[in-house]
Copies of this chain bind each other. A is one copy, B any other.
Amino acid sequence: MTVAVAVIPFKPKNPKTRLSCVLDEQEREAFAESMLSDVVAAVRDADCQPVILGTELFDSELVQVTIQEKGLSDALNEYLACCVVGNVLIIMADIPLADQVSIQRVLATPKDMAIVPGRGGGTNVIYLKDPTKFRVDYYGGSYLKHMKIAQECGLSCEVIDSFRLHTDIDEKEDLVELLLHGTGKSRAFLAERGFAITTDKGRVGVERKR
């Protein structure tokens, strides 16, 4: 039984530019697809039906809805208002540590909605029991904006405390978390391409052997 539709925004072309220091464009595209694949597997394990909200079509068996790159929030709000019936999970494509248990904790909220903050003030997951009552506003500290919108809309909201869903992979340092805690295709992608963790006295680092 499908518990919720899982809407996953995705940019197939030239994604993850902050990883350009360690991955070229073609690699970043393959890496982004491998992270998407891990997220899709996790939402399916949690009985959600994935729908990709992509900036262009890409080669995949997944259900794809194509949107303008500049207008993620508008496109999502339009989609939520007209095209979804029932519970909706909006989940980012760059959180490959997502797993069945962490997503089920989101879906189990007794509140009207649940939210998982990303690193540095973003929003990685929004779960809505009635998607017509909320509007999203991504970019630029979206976590605080979404908490405020929930209040304005009169929706009770639970913040889910999960580092697996909190850890979005944007920068080289973030790859450490994926190498340490990942189990899926995106971790394998990095390992196959020579990425490994390095250890000194402080935090663990990452290096690439070519």
Q: Which residues of A contact B (CB under 8 A)?
A: 18, 101-102, 117, 119-122, 139-141, 143-144, 161-164, 166-167, 170, 173, 176-177, 180-181, 197, 199-205
Contacts and interface: CB of A to CB of B under 8 A. Distances in A.
Contacts of A176: 120-121
Contacts of A180: 117, 121, 143-144
B162 A121 contact: no
**4 shortest interchain CB distances as A-B pairs:** A120-B203, A121-B204, A163-B166, A163-B163
Nearest to A144: B180
Contacts of A202: 18, 120, 170
Contact of A141 (B117, B163, B204): B204
Contacts of A120: 173, 176-177, 202-205
Contacts of A181: 117
A121 B179 CA distance: 10
A203 B204 CA distance: 22
A18 B163 CA distance: 23
Contact of A161 (B143, B162, B177, B200): B162
Contact of A203 (B101, B119, B197): B119
Centre residue among A102, A141, A143, A162 by max chain B CB count within 10 A: A141
A26 B84 CA distance: 55
10 contacts: A117-B180, A121-B180, A121-B199, A121-B203, A140-B200, A140-B201, A141-B199, A161-B162, A161-B163, A162-B162
A120 B47 CA distance: 31
A12 B16 CA distance: 40
A139 B205 CA distance: 13
B161 A101 contact: yes
A203 B118 CA distance: 9
Contacts of A201: 139-140
Given A139-B201, A140-B200, A161-B162, 4 more contacts: A18-B202, A101-B161, A120-B203, A166-B166
